[in-house]
Chains A and B, each alone.
Chain A
Amino acid sequence: MQQISKEKFQIVGVKASDAEKISKPSLSFWKDVFIRFRKNKLAMFGIVLLIILVFMAIFGPYMTKFDYASNDLMNTNKPPSSTHWFGTDDLGRDMFARTWQGARISLFIGIMAALIDFFIGVAWGGIAGYKGGRVDEIMMRIADILYGVPYLLLVILLMVVLGANLTTMIIAMTITGWINMARIVRGEVLSLKNQEYVLAARTLGASVSRIMGRHLIPNAMGSILVTMTLTIPSAIFTESFLSFLGLGLTPPLASWGTMANDGLASIQYYPWRLFFPAVLIALTIFAFNVIGDGLRDALDPRLRNKE
């Protein structure tokens, strides 16, 4: 046996600092989510893509000297060139300017739809989940029955009747669109409201709005955020789909959907007229989808433990 000096055998006992020391740095929930999200290459790619798209939507129309709405009947259906970067359409309008003008409209529709869904859905689902009992029963029955109404058919019907413009389009999309959000919020609130810390807040006399605002909604924020991120591409899709059916915005306004619909007729001869709006629709939906997925994966604690 090796020799060990006597004083090594002194009892030193628990070093309080050591016992309670946590060797791994502890991370706040959102910081942890952020780190996980950043590791997701596809989601980060989506973020970069989205930043570029938003940048171009803001500044794109000013980058070219052409206006998105002015006709030039001498230069119709020109392929992409150094003057008209994305070519021109059948009225000689510059496709580059129109494309980024369209980006504004498509993104605006997506974001508005998500925001409106958010407000109605959080209020409806939050109240139903928090009140519980009869109130919940009635509110969710209404939601269930409305949910049974086929979404796109209703939207088509509304657009036929109300006529196509930005406002009616957003109304049509959100008239039953909020139900999904309401269901998710209700589910979260229902499972959160009986957790000890909420009960504790209640016994301490916190008001309903405080409990909702401070405890329930922030903790449900993860799922809400994911749902919102995934609402935007679906609204952009719906917009282009409606435009394809001839229920889109009317000229000179241009959305990607109306541009793609215009381009479709002449795909044999002027494919670029379809190409640019179509690719941008797909890229935007792609970007939001991968960001939404990345967020969901980053938020899901089960996945966090698995890897």
Chain B
Amino acid sequence: MVKYISKRLLYMIVSLLIIITATFFLMRIAPGNPFTSEKKLPPEIEANLNEHYGLDKPWYVQYGDYLVRIVQWDFGPSFKYESRTVNDLINDGFPVSLTLGLEAILFAVAVGIVLGVIAALRHNKWQDYTAMIIAVFGISVPSFIMATFLQYIFAIKLGLFPVARWETFSHTVLPALALGATPMAFIARLTRSSMLEVLSNDYIKTAKAKGLSRGAMIMKHTIRNALLPVVSYMGPLAAGIITGSFVIEKIFGIPGLGSHFVLSISNRDYTVIMGVTVFYSILLLVSILLVDIAYGLIDPRIKLAGGKKGE
């Protein structure tokens, strides 16, 4: 267990190092970046950058300082706005994004599992087809299209929900639905196929041969085992929610970290792009690691030895 986690931790750190290094050097070759010499920056910002990156020092010193600062949880200043730092943006926007993300995850997991279970238990019946058409629809319609249509129909045309902004719970409904729709569809399909797989196993026949009722058989022997793959989907789910939030927050005018990130992209605010990317990467890699560890704890077959299903 300890061995497995430390191995995974090591991988994670290497991946992270690649991302940090890549962002650092990519930003240096970007046209109009803060590290080029012929820049015309307002003096205050230049002072900020100089203090943070030491622009007059050689690149390897800059790189080393940059790494140290990230370990200290300092993601640097903005290249465009004098009084802002990436940490400000994160403290300001991330709680909003987190709320939205959790709502979307809750929706995706709850509805996805229910749809998937129903579809599997009614395999090749109309319930199955309906659930799978919903799922194919959810997968095929990108979240930003879903978002604009939801907004157009339920907010602009029908007036059932607020069009934009982030104030009350009802402001969160449409964005969370739009953000959760695609993962919901994936979870529904995953649950369905894994339920069908489990249902075809011999031990289900054993359960039936024991005289268990259909309900007991499904609850005790099927769903638990069928949900294991869904747990391992939580990592990609987190990634989907984070990237999805960029566009969803933009469309609904939500002041989350995603909006800040998108804004920094259109402003070419390189240092913010760099800092937020690194922050998101840490967030993602840590959540994927946590999911994997959780998976190992839930599934007794995995002893977290080599990360493989072992005998």
Task: Report if A and B touch in the complex (beta carbons < 8 A).
Answer: yes
9 contacts between A and B (CB under 8 A): A42-B136, A148-B14, A148-B288, A150-B285, A160-B268, A163-B31, A241-B144, A244-B247, A282-B145
**Cβ < 8 Å to B, chain A residues 271-299:** 271, 274, 278, 281-283, 285-286, 289-290, 293
Given pairs A156-B273, A245-B247, 9 additional interface contacts (CB within 8 A):
A145-B15, A148-B12, A148-B14, A148-B285, A149-B18, A150-B242, A152-B243, A245-B266, A283-B140
- Pick the interface stretch among B19-27, B100-108, B207-215: B19-27
Stretch in contact with the other chain, from A83-91, A94-102, A116-124, A260-268:
A260-268
Q: On chain A, which size bracket covers the interface?
A: 35 or more
- The proximity string for B residues 243-276 relative to A, scoring 1 for CB distances below 8 Å and 0 otherwise, is 1001100110000000000100110101001000
Asked if B139 and A153 make an inter-chain contact with CB atoms under 8 angstroms apart, the answer reads: no
Residues A289 and B30 in contact in the complex (CB < 8 Å), given A149-B15, A153-B281: no
Whether A244 contacts B144 by the Cβ 8 Å rule is: yes
Contacts known (A145-B14, A145-B15, A264-B251); A154 close to B265, Cβ less than 8 A: no
Query: Taking each of A245, A246, A274, A290, which has the highest tally of chain B beta carbons within 10 Å of its own beta carbon?
Result: A245
Do A241 and B142 form a contact, CB below 8 Å, given A157-B277, A161-B29, A264-B148?
A: yes
Q: Which residues of A contact B203 (CB under 8 A)?
A: none
Interface residue ranges of A121-135 to B (CB < 8 Å):
none
Contact B139 A285 (CB under 8 A): yes
Q: Across the two chains, which residue of chain A brings its CB closest to B142?
A: A237
Q: Quick check: A149 and B19 within 8 Å, CB to CB? A: yes
Chain A nearest CB, measured from B179 CB (Å):
13
Contacts of A240 in B (CB 8 A): 142, 144
Cβ of B59: which chain A residues have Cβ within 8 Å of it?
none
Q: Which chain A residues lie closer than 8 Å to B139 at the CB level?
A: 285, 289
Residues of B with C-beta under 8 A to A260: 144-145
Distance in angstroms between the alpha carbons of A88 and B23 in the assembled complex: 40
A contact patch SS: helix
The interface residues of chain A lying within 8 Å CB-to-CB of B30 are 160-161
B11 at the binding interface (Cβ < 8 Å): yes
Count class of interface residues, chain B: 35 or more
Q: How far is the CB of A91 from chain B (nearest CB, A)?
A: 21
Say how far A254's CB is from chain B's closest CB, in angstroms.
17
- Residue B72 CB within 8 A of the other chain: no
Q: Does chain A have a CB within 8 A of B61?
A: no
The 10 closest A-B pairs by CB, nearest first: A148-B15, A286-B140, A152-B243, A161-B30, A278-B145, A285-B140, A161-B26, A282-B141, A246-B266, A150-B284
Q: Let me know if B4 is at the binding interface, CB within 8 A.
A: no
Q: In A49-102, which residues have CB < 8 Å from any B CB?
A: none
B288 (CB) vs chain A CBs: closest residue: A148
Which chain B residues lie closer than 8 Å to A290 at the CB level?
136
Q: Is the CB of A160 within 8 A of B145?
A: no
Which of B140, B148, B152 interacts with A289 by CB under 8 Å?
B140
Instruction: Decide: A154 and B284 in contact? CB cutoff 8 A.
Output: no
Chain A residues contacting B81 (CB-CB under 8 Å) are none
Any chain B CB within 8 A of the CB of A247?
Answer: yes
Q: Counting chain A CB atoms within 10 Å of each CB, which of B12, B148, B281, B284 scores highest?
A: B148
- B residues 259-310 near A (Cβ < 8 Å) are 262, 265-266, 268, 270, 273, 277, 280-281, 284-285, 288
Residue A108 at the chain B interface, CB threshold 8 Å: no
A225 at the interface (CB under 8 A from B): no
Within A234-268, which residues are at the interface with B (CB < 8 Å)? 237, 240-241, 244-247, 260, 264, 267-268
Interface residue? A306 (CB, 8 A): yes
Interface: B200 (CB within 8 A):
yes
B68 beta carbon closer than 8 Å to chain A: no
Contacting B at CB under 8 A, from A13-28, are none
Q: Which residues of B contact A156 (CB under 8 A)?
A: 265, 273, 277
**With A and B bound together, what is the CA distance between A202 and B285 in angstroms?**
42
CA distance A146 to B242 in the complex (A): 19
Q: Which of chain A's residues have a CB closer than 8 A to the CB of B149?
A: 278
